[in-house]
Amino acid sequence: MASRESSVRQERPPLVPTPASHSSYDEGVIKDLEKALPAEKTIPTLPSSAPVDDTPDGGFSAWLVLFGAMCIAFTTSGYMSAWGVFQAYYENSILQDSSPSTISWIGSIQQSFLYIPTLIFSRLLDMGYFRTMLTAASVVFIIATFLIAQCHVYWQFLLCQGLLTGVAAGVFSGPVIAILSQWFRKRRGLALGMYAAGASLGGTVLPITAKALIPVIGFPWTMRVIALIIMFGLVLGNLTIKQRKSSSLVKGPLFDFSPMRSHAFLVYCFASFFVYLGYYSFTTYVAASAINIGVSTSFSFYLVSICNACSGLSRITSGLTADTTGAMNLMIPFTCLSVVVYVVWPFAHAEAALVFISILYGVSIGPFASLVSSPVLDLGEKDQLGRRIGILMSMVGIAMLVGAPITGAVDKSQGPIAMGLYAGSMMLFGAILMTIVRHMKVKSKPSYWSKI
């Protein structure tokens, strides 16, 4: 009996295959199963702390914000871009007892305060005060523009047109650029180009408006009409521009210079500073210089509009191109073209030559005007964006404050050729510094001609 049970146990197959029993399996099937199952190391993993880029880069809300930004640029930066017309008018009428260099301080203060206060206002944006700043600045800007109609002496123009409109406009410039970066990333160049084109459109329309209305209704009522145009644009801007709900509020001190620890960012700030030392010299003095060489007053006013119109087209195309080629790859060569314009400008003594120079300068400054803040967005952490833009714009504002008066003083003491060489050399040095920044950013990339 025992031997029978033993034989039965010996005939039962093992419940678990032994190593020797693997030979009974189809080795091809096993290999196919092993290939079908992914290896553990190929399974992609995403750390829970990894940031997710949810920038819309389009959609109704994003384009509406861009429209509001363009309206603000039209009424603030565009109004500043029209200063050349006021410079020429004041020299030949209301303030004819003042020197051109003295009068230019009105425009320089106005244009510089478009950027100097951004160090504070961009930081307030990070802290969540944008809507309050936007409303208050709009009211001040509109009232100050209406008050210009009542000005009769130099200090009144300096206060209303120089200081008040400049500081009010400065509330918008840095924060609006930072807000656009919240809505656009891959299309950032296009967004900044369109925003800058709004300024060029204002710089084209407002000088023509002033030129057409001053002989008909006089300077005071012309300024009231311009103030109404500005009010309409700022109302549209207030209604349409907004921060994204997902944008984080950054705590910390009001003044924070920690972004300047980045060598690339610091050099880029100085590059922009030197470019802006010469940037506005052409639009400030081209109308007045045309009158001085015998060009009619009625025609000379159009040179500023021609320059701004061409700059607007160049800003749009630069924004479209920069998303593919890179911002600094455009800014550096076109800034060098501006240098050529400054060298040639003193030798232009006919209307046709001045028109050509105005067109060329408008085209050459377009890329820098629209893309100057674009590299800054990639030169540090996202939560330092407002601080970086504030630091850059404040340094740029200082350059704009002294740039045109220094150019005017050089023109008065040394002549137009020295003026052109001075302004051109400042922009050339800025282009060289930008080239250094570009090298610092691309030296670790596989191709030196990377999109940057």
pLDDT per position as a tens digit, 26-62: 555 555 545 555 554 444 444 444 455 567 777 888 8
| Residue 120 in this model has a pLDDT that exceeds 50 | yes
Give the model's pLDDT for residue 154: 92
Q: Given pLDDT bands bounded at 50, 70 and 90, which one contains residue 270?
A: very high
- pLDDT given at position 65: 92
Of 176, 172, 116, nearest in space to 385 by CA: 176
Return the pLDDT at 381. 60
Q: What is the pLDDT of residues 178-221, one digit of tens each?
A: 888 788 877 877 888 888 888 888 988 998 898 889 889 999 99
Judged by average pLDDT, the poorest of 139-153, 348-362, 386-400, 417-431 is 386-400
**pLDDT bracket for residue 224 (50, 70, 90):** very high
* Nearest-angstrom CA–CA distance, 395 and 116: 7
Residue 141 has pLDDT above 60, yes or no: yes
Q: Structure tokens of 335?
A: 């800034």
- Contact between residue 219 and residue 210 where contact means Cβ atoms under 8 Å apart: no
The mean pLDDT value for 414-436 works out to 93
**What is the dotted CATH code of the domain comprising 60-242+255-442?**
1.20.1250.20
The structure tokens 């600094």 sit at 328
- Is residue 233 pLDDT above 50, yes or no? yes
Model confidence at 386: pLDDT above 80: no
CA–CA distance from 1 to each of 4, 6, 7, 181, 197 (Å)? 5, 9, 10, 91, 105
User: What per-residue confidence (pLDDT) applies to 42?
Assistant: 47
Band the pLDDT of 400: cuts 50, 70, 90. Answer: confident
Domain positions in the chain:
60-242+255-442
